[in-house]
Amino acid sequence: MTTVNVIKPKARLSNSNILFLIAAVIFVLMYIFAIITFPASFMQFQTFFDLFNLNAPLIIMTLGLSIVMIGGGIDISVGSVCGLVTMACAVYLEHKMGSIGGAILIALGIGIVFGILQGYLIAYLEIQPFIITLSGLFLAQGLLTTLHKDPINVTMPAFVNLRDFDIVIAWLGAKNRLGVFIPCEIKPGTIIVVILLVILASLMKWSRFGRNVYAVGGNSNSAMMLGINVKRTVFITYVMSGLTAGIAGFVYIMTTGAGNVGNASGAEMKAIASAIIGGTLLNGGVGNLLGAPIGTLTLLVINELIRAAGVQSNFQAMVSGLMLYFFIVLQSLIMSLRDRTRIRFTLPPWLRLSEKAKSGNHRET
């Protein structure tokens, strides 16, 4: 063993961390820009808290979705499941038998059932996650409209109290135009976001399950050879994203207090966008759960900026779309720079026609 010279390679940042850092820096820069351009609103702490207060469901969905995406999958049913949960809870709470505890159970139950169903089909029957969760999306939407078509405002007193409950931070706030001091308020949803963020981020970093998810997303074949139960790991990721979609549904109705057919519609796309902006790579194995809220907030701040600028609201969607392009290209660029390979676009396994044929085609044709 004399010929091997032990070199000490510099431990470089892992891909997960570098993408997270980039997301964080971009968010901070954007927020500073927002403060400079619209100091009146963005200087206030309440604006910052409101981003959480009003968008807690989206952040929660993004957390679950990020786990699935790190494991190399995708779940586009989260928005519809979330919407279904809001309606189911509203119908239930308006019923004579309704109770808040029961509503929570319903929310978790619906989420878990969708997670188990989709997870089973994807992990054990090895069907494309995109198709399965697309089916889940339609199923949830159909159930939602079957359950109730018209908006329901929940009038149950206990629930209304919960809806209007705020945590007041007395020492933080701003004076309004009349000079009255308005303290900052945090909704319970924000607390749930923080708790879930801590739990899930720790899970991904320090638990055997979390590391297995990274391994499976990195290379599922290798993961299997390394002795990881790939199918069970994939299955659990979908159960987790179903569960978070359920929680998101409850937080949603807790914030708005109403069941509505349009609740959380399209949220899956926002969640995917948030996860990507937050540094989760589309092809799996790379991502940091702390990036999930950052991605969501970046997306929201941009939309807020556009709204504050008084531009038509359809620009929000356009800019979101453009930003997503930008981030995917940026990620591919960074990855290929780091691997010193020719630039190619990272495609998730569920979007590739065939793993092996992907580069074979273009040279012959």
Partner 1 sequence: MLSETILEMKDISKSFPGVKALDNVGFKLRKGEIHALMGENGAGKSTLIKVITGVYEKDSGFITLQGEPIHFKTPKEAQNKGIGTVYQEIMLCPNLTVAENMFIGRSHTPIVNWKQMNEKAAQLLKSLGIPASPIQELASCSLAVQQMIAIARAVDMDCKILILDEPTSSLDEDEVHKLFDLMRELKTRGVGIIFITHFLKQVYEISDRITVLRNGKFVGEYETSSFPQIELISKMLGNELEDITKIKKYEPIVSDTTIPVYEGIGLSSAAGVKPFDFSIQKGEVNGFAGLLGSGRSESVRAIFAADKVTGGGVRMKGKRVKIKTPLQAIRQGIGYLPEDRKDDGIIYDLSVRDNIILTLQVLKGFFKPFSLKQAEAFAKEYIEKLNIKTPTSNTPIKSLSGGNQQKVILARWLLTNPEYLILDEPTRGIDVGTKVEIQKLVIKLANNGMSLTFISSEIDEMLRTCSRLIVMKDREIVAELRGTELTEHDVMNVIAQGGKTI
Q: 3-state class of 233 per DSSP?
A: helix
Of the pair 314, 359, the CB lying nearest partner 1 is at 359
Between the alpha carbon of residue 188 and those of residues 53, 79, 165, 168, 239, the distances in Å are 8, 21, 7, 11, 24
Q: By CB under 8 A, is residue 161 in contact with partner 1?
A: no
Q: How far is the CB of 302 from partner 1 (least distance, A)?
A: 29
Of the pair 177, 363, the CB lying nearest partner 1 is at 363
> What does residue 97 show for φ and ψ, rounded to 5 degrees?
-80, -5
Q: Which of 158, 176, 222, 329 binds partner 1 (CB under 8 A)?
A: 222
Question: What distance in Å separates the CA atoms of residue 362 and residue 275, rounded to the nearest whole number?
Answer: 31
Q: By CB under 8 A, is residue 126 in contact with partner 1?
A: no
Question: What distance in Å separates the CA atoms of residue 236 and residue 243, rounded to the nearest whole number?
Answer: 10
Question: What distance in Å separates the CA atoms of residue 214 and residue 72, rounded to the nearest whole number?
Answer: 9
Q: By CB under 8 A, is residue 217 in contact with partner 1?
A: yes
Q: By CB under 8 A, is residue 123 in contact with partner 1?
A: no
Q: Which of 64, 79, 218, 291 binds partner 1 (CB under 8 A)?
A: 218
What are residue 173's DSSP bridge partners?
Answer: 183
Q: Which of 36, 165, 207, 321 binds partner 1 (CB under 8 A)?
A: 207
Q: By CB under 8 A, is residue 208 in contact with partner 1?
A: yes
Q: By CB under 8 A, is residue 206 in contact with partner 1?
A: yes
Question: What distance in Å separates the CA atoms of residue 241 and residue 123, rounded to the nearest whole number?
Answer: 14
Between the alpha carbon of residue 164 and those of residues 160, 168, 189, 254, the distances in Å are 6, 12, 12, 9
Of the pair 73, 136, the CB lying nearest partner 1 is at 73
Closest to 304 measured CA to CA, from 24, 44, 19, 22: 44
Q: By CB under 8 A, is residue 97 in contact with partner 1?
A: no
Of the pair 7, 180, the CB lying nearest partner 1 is at 7
Say if CB 129 and CB 117 are below 8 A apart: no
Question: What distance in Å separates the CA atoms of residue 132 and residue 139, rounded to the nearest whole number?
Answer: 10
Q: By CB under 8 A, is residue 278 in contact with partner 1?
A: no
Residues 323-362 binding partner 1 (CB under 8 A) are: 339, 342, 354, 356-357, 359-362
Of the pair 146, 221, the CB lying nearest partner 1 is at 221
Interface with partner 1 by CB under 8 A: which range of 90-98, 202-210, 298-306, 319-327?
A: 202-210
Question: What distance in Å separates the CA atoms of residue 362 and residue 344, rounded to the nearest whole number?
Answer: 13
Q: How far is the CB of 109 from partner 1 (least distance, A)?
A: 25
Binding site for partner 1 (CB under 8 A): 1, 3-9, 11-12, 14-16, 205-212, 214-215, 217-219, 221-223, 225-228, 285-286, 339, 342, 354, 356-357, 359-365
